[in-house]
Structure 1
Amino acid sequence: MPMNVEGRWGLAQSDGLTMNLSLKQEGTSFSGEAEFDIDGGRVTESVSGKVTDSDITFKRGTLHYIGTFAQGQLYGLSIDFQDAGTQATWFTPKVFEPL
């Protein structure tokens, strides 16, 4: 059974970016919006991805996010596929439960 990632939750990256995700989920697929502040302005981008009981993958623009659930908490890595040198680790303090 996949983890339930639906709703609004925050994500903090090692590069200082914090992002709020608002997601709708159907089974193992989800989509929604990511909101974050950059260069003094608020940005909203679409996100979509897949989730299982142990990991998550999603895309935001050219960034790909890969994460793992550990005791319900989520940790991972983001990679910019246009510049593979642009990477950041990330985590969310939210504890997730199965669907």
Structure 2
Amino acid sequence: MPMDVRGNWDINQGNGYTLHLEVDHQDPDGFFGGRVNIHGKAGYHPIADAKATDTEFTFMMGNGRYTGRFDEWGRLTGITYDEAHPQSQSTWHAGKTFGKLVMA
């Protein structure tokens, strides 16, 4: 089963930005959707091309690609980069830990 990434949580980037995610749905295959806000900036952006497995995590926000890995304790860390300028990168970590997705 994939990791459960539903809910409201933050990504803290190494470059000082914080993203607030609102993941409102996730299917049994791990595909998820919702919206994201860059802390301190107005408006939300849709989460696109998003999937979580039991070990990996990825989504797009605008031109930004976020990829990460879950460790054995459910901590999530990764890297983000601008697809138009791949040299523009930052590390990140989630502000919470995650467990396996349980479907009712």
What pairs up with 1:1-99 in 2 under 5 angstroms?
Answer: 1-23=1-23, 24-27=25-28, 28-37=30-39, 41-48=41-48, 49-70=50-71, 71-99=73-101
Gaps of 5+ in 1: none
Is the Cα contact below 8 Å between 2:20 and 2:39 reproduced in 1? no
Question: Which structure dedicates a bigger proportion of its chain to strand?
Answer: 1
Q: Please tell me whether the aligned partners of residues 13 and 89 of structure 1 are also in contact (alpha carbons under 8 angstroms).
A: yes
State the aligned residue count: 97
What secondary structure sits across from 1:43 in the alignment? coil
**Which stretches in structure 2 are left out of the alignment for 5+ residues?**
none
What SS class does the counterpart of residue 15 from structure 1 fall into?
A: coil
Q: Quote the Cα distance in structure 2 between the aligned partners of 1:66 and 1:22.
A: 17
Rounded to whole Å, the distance in 2 between the matches of 1:31 and 1:90 is 20
Give the C-alpha shift of residue 44 in structure 1.
Answer: 1.1
Identical aligned pairs, as a percentage? Answer: 33
Instruction: Please report the TM-score for the alignment, with normalisation by the length of structure 2.
Output: 0.88
Aligned-residue CA RMSD (Å): 1.1
TM-score by length of 1: 0.92
Runs of 4+ aligned structure 1 residues displaced above 6 Å come to: none
**Given residue 62 of structure 1, which amino acid in structure 2 is its aligned partner?**
N
1:94 is paired with a residue of what secondary structure? strand
On the 8 A contact 1:33/1:47 being kept in 2, the answer is yes
